Amino acid sequence: MLEVVPSSPQVLLLVVVLVFVAAKLLFTGKDKRPPLPPGPRPLPLLGNALDFPKSHLGREFRGLSEKYGDVAYLSVLGQSIILVNSYDAACELLEKRSGNYSDRPQSAMVKMTNLDWIFVFKDYGAEWRRYRRELHVSFVPDMMTRYFAIQRQYTRGLLRNLLDTPADFSAHIKFSFAAVVLRIVYGLDPEQGERKYYKLVERLATIAEDISTPGRHIVEAFPSMQRLPSWFPGTGFRQLAATWKAEIASIRDYLYDSAKETMGTSGVKESIITRLTEERVEDELSRNVTATIYAAGSDTTNAAVHAFVLAMAMFPEAQRKAQTELDAVVGPDRLPDFADQKSLPYVCALMKEVLRWHVVAPIGVPHRSTEADEYGGYYLPGGSLIIVNQWSISRDPAYFPDPENFYPERFLLNGQLNPAIRDPAKFVFGFGRRICPGLHFAEAALFLNCAYILHTLNITPPLDLHGNPKKLEMRTNSLAVSHLLPFECRILARNAHMEELVRGNGA
């Protein structure tokens, strides 16, 4: 009969240690990975939902990054979010590793409204590349020069409107940009003062900005709520999405059909839609690409010009220096032109400072990683949302000292543009394969508007009841595209000669 001999305490301890080591090797040895980036401690179930900003996302996200570093981690209801707060980290991830970081997050509201025809919301893939090609072709340098005459025409009209009714400057700016892009994209010429078209694009942009702003709709956090009946509490998003879906399609189709009808009855004006028609691009792609260009081109650049107007009212010294340069280079008898741009370094620096001072898209549009990755010794889970804080990059004191001050000289050295200073265009238009395809058009439009206005007009603060200048400050909304809240200013011709130049028929 076999006799079992009790084990000694030392043998038992050895067995326990061996079992522990084996278990550790079995369950963790195959999945050794760095830690997640630092971030606030998550709560059970909610994760970091309460840490997610509700307004002024750029400023509040920067507060998290100052505490946890340039790459921080949040988990919101199970969704991994990588917050990127530095230009170098954004370039490393979104440009050098763009193959892994060019997708977009899945959005319940985008799908419910069928808004994924807008290029910015499209998933990365074959269809995205088809759309990208058509957008790229529309804004190559050869095509850009064809738009110059149209831009000059409507920007001069803007000057006249600003002289006639300066209190309506905001409506005039919106009309001007809507008219320029409407003519370039659809070949349509709206009548002066006609607000219908810019109201359409404004509405389309507002819906898209609302949907793309993180945290606006509960269904984004709980997609399964789409299956709840409409009477269930908290499902108001369903009716909203249904209304928006019909409204968005109506705006897109109205613009496209109006252009097609005009082409058939009034002759053909060279435009993006005529090129797409000549190249026999399929109807749905043409319809979607043209509406995408119209919405993006009209909305974001007019937001930048509003910021320019506010900056000139707030910082008169910058306005005066730019006007002195324009007087020396352009002279009193003509308006500036694109050919003058290289000879106007201060005006160009001022334009760059506008882009930096008021970042139109403070956190851009989030990217999505397709595979797990590592950066800076940290593990970045696959399927993470990547949020680049472009507003914070614009406020990096290492590159932009005294960042809240409007100071164009920061981009100059010995009176010329300093290539050693980071150009805001390298981050305010996005990164990698998702960079804005119309960025060169936007920069050209901003230059022409700034140069025309500076050369001919003076912008000053409004006056109080005692005739003293009121103090102005930048106040913005909290959507994905940052628009200034309404403000007042005074706009007058610099002198009688400049008023005659604006109202005359010469160049």
- Residues at the binding site for heme are 436
Measured CA to CA, the distance from residue 25 to residue 424 in angstroms comes to 49
**Count of Cβ atoms closer than 10 Å to residue 499 Cβ:** 17
**Residue type (1 letter), 308:** F
Cα angle value 149/155/156 (rounded, 5°): 90
Q: Are 421 and 399 in contact (CB under 8 A)?
A: yes
> What is the spatial distance between Cα 91 and Cα 427, in angstroms, rounded to a whole number?
9
For 179-183, which contacts have Cβ atoms below 8 Å and span 24 or more sequence positions? 179/154, 180/147, 180/150, 180/151, 180/154, 180/155, 180/297, 180/445, 181/293, 181/294, 181/297, 181/298, 182/255, 182/294, 182/298, 183/150, 183/154, 183/269, 183/271
Residues 6+ apart with CB under 8 A from 337: 152
Closest CA to 316 of 461, 170, 488: 461
CB neighbour list of residue 460: distance below 8 Å, 6 or more residues apart: 313, 316, 469, 489, 490, 492
Output the known binding site.
436
Single-letter amino acid, residue 473: E
57: tokens are 């996302």
Q: List C-alpha distances in Å: 364 to 3, 18, 121, 429, 501.
A: 75, 52, 12, 8, 40
Under 8 Å CB-to-CB from 125, ≥6 apart: which residues?
A: none
Contact (Cβ atoms closer than 8 angstroms) between residue 35 and residue 378: yes
3-class DSSP assignment, residue 437 = coil
- Assess contact for 355 and 304: CB atoms under 8 A: yes
Rounded-to-integer distance, Cα 21 and Cα 489, Å: 73
Strands 79-84 and 385-388: parallel
Which candidate, 105, 113, 118, 117, places its Cα nearest to that of 76? 105
